[in-house]
Amino acid sequence: MGVAALIAAAAQSGVAGATPAAAPAPGKAGPAHAAVRLSPSQRTELIRHADAGRAATARSLGLGAKEELVVRDVVKDADGTLHTRYERTYAGLPVLGGDLVVDTAASGAVERVVEANTAPLKVRGLTPAASTKSAETQAVRLARSLGGTRSAADGVRRVIWAGSGKPVLALETVVGGLQDDGTPNRLHVITDAATGKRLFTYQGIETGVGNTQYSGQVTLTTTQSGSTYTLTDGARGGHKTYNLNHGSSGTGTLFSQSSDTWGNGTNSSAATAGADAHYGAAVTWDFYKNTFGRSGIKNNGVGAYSRVHYGNSYVNAFWDDGCFCMTYGDGSGNAKPLTAIDVAGHEMSHGVTSNTAGLNYSGESGGLNEATSDIFGTGVEFYANNSTDPGDYLIGEKIDINGNGTPLRYMDKPSKDGASKDSWYSGIGGVDVHYSSGPANHFFYLLSEGSGAKVINGVSYNSPTADGLPVTGIGRDKALQIWYRALTTKWTSTTNYAGARTGTLAAAGELYGTTSAEYKAVQDAWAAVAVGARSGGGGGGGTSYENTTPVSIPDNGPAVTSDIAVSGRSGNAPANLQVAVDITHTWRGDLVIDLIGPSGTAYRLKNFSGSDSADDVRETYTVNASSESANGTWRLRVQDQAAQDVGTINSWKLTFP
């Protein structure tokens, strides 16, 4: 990922299960699974050690002779467990969607592997049938249709595409230039090297004493050389803040002056926006360090840099991995720079995501990417504890992009912005990532604060739930720890909403125990946004039983099954038994899906369809199972009845209303 803007201009097949640790005290995080706060040198040494052993690791994982691992990051727990994140290459080519996380116990034994794609990595050849020229033409045409300005691509390279389905040789084309609103362009277009078909597209630009415009008078860390002060923060990795003076390239000029008082609280002084940005960067650094033990965006102790006064009347802000920098426009009429605290935290959190899970900036993973920045941006705002801009669950409420005094996004009820979605549904992967982020933002709010009406820091909220049942919050601090641990140790580039649920449950189980109130709250908060089942029983909302163990579906082969054992119920199953299915599979029409009751009777959920070429099955079916005993073994049976595609049963659940 390269760049993501604050406003709008794939499925995980290998998911982590929740491994219970020694039971922690109720409401307290288990110390064994707390991440150790590593110094930059300690982290470098762990990465060096993992790199030295990557060939042996590849062999132990059963990777092919042409596959190699590339170490990206290592997280160490207090009990010695290592979570090592790898990229992968095949015959020297980068594998997009081939990333994985390997959990290794202190003894050296591999405990768990989370893969972005579990399909075998093997392609027929490495010579493209489609020409690079045709791939470039297609990518440039697409970029121009989206407001791009370039007539040629920045480059085309061979890759292996494993972002979904069966891995194939592909061509990745990157088109630069500017988008129609002035945001830099890094459009990545993945083309099947055999057929010339476009496989995937994502935008690599990720949008989300100073007298500041939004935070009042604050203390800034600056650097003095002789009689000159500069906005250089030597306490936070050397972070610098520059004035682009309405330019759109380069770094501009480092803010420097003879006085150590910056700005006047209005945009009549160019240094005001500089003070806001410098303060936002410092607060974000401190939030990550003191909340998670993370030393900078890359966790290597090195600061990024900020650029303000980008373009002319540019109504956006963005993070760019390419320059490792944060950029702010001045808003409509150059009157409202986008330098508020939560915007700074949002954008720089895109850098954290890029350097951890690397969530693809498209589809459901793109929504999770955006939500992660909203979630941590909110965390930064609360952490700052600034009386001029107190913490809230509103995104961009200070910058007034809409021009009517309303926030850009609402976490308690995302649909209040007119475009975001409150809950998950099967088509949400096709929604712009700034709006498909809604269910995850909603989940985080519910997990933190719970449902219903309440007032926090003077702001009124009233959060609904998809199933009409209440959710009791566990507090923002715990919710942040769960989300961060899932991001850094459980998720991969292709994680979708179902995978996010599994990863946060695994994180909650490790931190607080699988029988804890925190673990159950994660289940309930996800169910409240239509992802997965409730923790079971009570509230009149029914009881659900779930199997989250992945099962591979062979290509045009025998049927595979996944079982759920139900006990402790009386009488027969209901006439409206709910069967929720989460299956990753390209060309889903190949699949036939049945529910097998305890009596052995089959209930057809999905028929074969040769014309249904869409990916994946994520549906909830209603079955009249009233002739079945409720107790017993229920079985999901799935068979692929045509060649060329493989898949995985990620999870499924039964809900007894």
The tokens of 268 are what?
């009549």
| Pairwise CA distance, residues 560 & 380, whole Å | 46
> Shortest CA distance to 63 belongs to which of 86, 96, 45?
86
| Pairwise CA distance, residues 267 & 640, whole Å | 62
HSE of 108, CA atoms in CB hemisphere, 13 A: 6
Q: Are 71 and 56 in contact (CB under 8 A)?
A: no
> Shortest CA distance to 248 belongs to which of 149, 174, 154, 172?
149
| Pairwise CA distance, residues 396 & 409, whole Å | 7
SS3 of 11, please?
coil
The C-alpha R_g of the chain, in whole angstroms, comes to 25
Q: Are 222 and 231 in contact (CB under 8 A)?
A: yes
Helices first, then strands: H and E counts in the chain = 11, 35
| Pairwise CA distance, residues 22 & 513, whole Å | 8
SS3 of 53, please?
coil
SS3 of 211, please?
strand
Interacting residues of 508 by C-beta distance below 8 A, sequence separation 6+ = 18, 482, 516, 518, 519, 521, 522
Q: Which residues are catalytic?
A: 347, 434
DSSP state, residue 262: B
Q: Are 628 and 555 in contact (CB under 8 A)?
A: no
Q: What are phi and psi of 348, to 5 degrees?
A: -70, -25
Distances (CA, A) of 242 to 119, 279, 347: 46, 13, 16
Query: How many angstroms from the chain centroid is the CA of residue 176?
Result: 24
DSSP state, residue 458: T
